Amino acid sequence: MKELKGKVAVITGGAGGIGKAMGERFLAEGMKVVMADIEVPALEAAAASLPDSVERVTVVCDVSKGEQIDALRAAAIDAFGAVHVVCNNAGVGGGGAMSEMNIDDWKWVIDVDLWSVIHGVRVFLPGFIEQGEGHIVNTASVAGLFSAPFMGPYNVAKYGVVALSETLCNELAMQQSDVGVSVLCPSWVKTKIASSARNKPGATAEEADALSEFVQPLINSGIDPDLVADRVVAAVKNKEFWIITHDDTPAAVTLRTRSILEGTNPPQLMH
C-alpha cells in the first residue's frame, strides 16, 4: 500500500507507547486514525495531544472481548466509511514461575495478547479481502521468536501471534490477494507494559510492583516507540512481513534455530 494519504487506520492500544506512536506516524502520512484503548483518561489525553487539523476518533475497547472489536470496526466505518489498515497492537505483560501461576494469570495475558489478535483478524480481514486492499499489523514480540524464562503466558501468546500471522501470510499468498500482513517483533521499547497489572481485574498493588521492579530497568534501556512506528509504516508501504526492530534479534533467533537443528536444549536467551 504505497499511498497512505486519505486511508483509514485502526489501532488498538492506541493511547500510549507503540500504539500512540503508530497513530501519530499514520496521521503524519495523511491518514485518518481510529484510536482504541481500554483506558479512558489516557485515550482522551492522547487524542487531545494531537493537532486539531488531523482526523481522528477514539473508541473505548476491551480487546479481550470479541464483540467489542466488532463494535470497533463498526465505529470506524461509521466515522470514516472504510478501514484500510488495522494494527492489532494492544497487549499486556505478565509472568512468573510456572509452578506458582494460576489459571487467571494465564487467561488474562492470553485473552489480551492473543485472542485480541485472533478477533482483530476475524473482524477486519473479510472486509479487506472484499475491497481488494488492506494491511494487518499484528504486534507480537521477540518473545514470539525465542523464549525467556518466567514469561510463560506472554511467550505462549506471542508465539501464537507469530504463528497466526505466518499462516495468514501464506493463505493470502496462495489466494494471490493484495491484502498484506506484518508481524511486529520488538525487543525492549520504552512503554508502560511494566505496569500492565493496573488493568488486570483483581490485581493487587504488590503484584503490579513486582513486575515493574523486574522489568522497568530493561524498558528504560529500550528504544523509543517512534522508531518502532517508523518501521511499521515502512512495512505497510512495502508489504513487508517481518518487522524486526533490534539489531541483536537475528543472532538470538539463530541460536534458537541451531538448537532445533542440532537437537540440543533451548538456549537460555533473555529478551
DSSP 109-159: HHIIIIIHHHHHHHHHHHHHHHHT--EEEEE--GGGTS--TTBHHHHHHHH
Paired sense of beta strands 85-88 and 8-12, if any: parallel
Q: Which residues pair with 135 in a beta bridge?
A: 85, 180
Q: What are phi and psi of 224, to 5 degrees?
A: -75, 140
At 36, list the grid cell.
482504541
Is residue 154 flagged as an active site residue? yes
- Selecting among 26, 124, 154, 159, the annotated active-site residue is 154
Dihedral sign from CA coordinates of 195, 198, 200, 204:
positive
Q: What CA–CA distance (Å, rounded) separates 54 from 96? A: 42
Q: Please state the separation of Cα 230 from the chain's center in Å.
A: 15
Q: Which residues pair with 56 in a beta bridge?
A: 33
Question: Taking Cα atoms as reference points, which of 39, 255, 268, 256 lies closest to residue 151?
Answer: 268
Please enumerate, as own/partner, the contacts of 246-252 that have beta carbons within 8 Å and a separation of 24 or more. 246/142, 246/186, 246/187, 246/188, 248/187, 249/142, 249/145, 249/185, 249/187, 252/142, 252/145, 252/146
Q: Kindly provide the residue ranges of all beta strands, DSSP E only, lying in 164-226, ordered along the sequence.
A: 180-185
Positions annotated as catalytic residues are 154
